[in-house]
Amino acid sequence: MPHGTKVFKAGDTDLGQSTDQSTDLGQFTDLGLLRRWQWLEQAVGPAVALPTEFPDGYHVPQHRHSRSQLLHALVGVVLVT
């Protein structure tokens, strides 16, 4: 499927394969978070929506993605360093 024809969201099973394998996700101990990030890295399309809730004080280990990211917090504060 060419880019620009579908927006993928959590639960979609029609995923392409990422050609960039540079993201090191081996440092994560939260299996649910690891699976979400693996899903995001495989998703094909110009935009991918994946809602996520984190508890107060949650820390995400330093990481990188093979595509641009947009983080939008509805409640609370997000600190990116």
Low-confidence stretches of the chain (pLDDT beneath 70): 1-31
Domain boundary assignment for the chain = 1-81
Residue recorded with tokens 């024809």: 5
Give the pair of three-digit tokens for residue 25. 């996700």
What does the pLDDT read at residue 30?
67
DSSP letter, residue 60: P
Give percent of the chain above pLDDT 70.
62
pTM equals 0.46
What does the pLDDT read at residue 27?
52
- Which residue blocks in 1-81 are alpha helix, DSSP H? 31-42
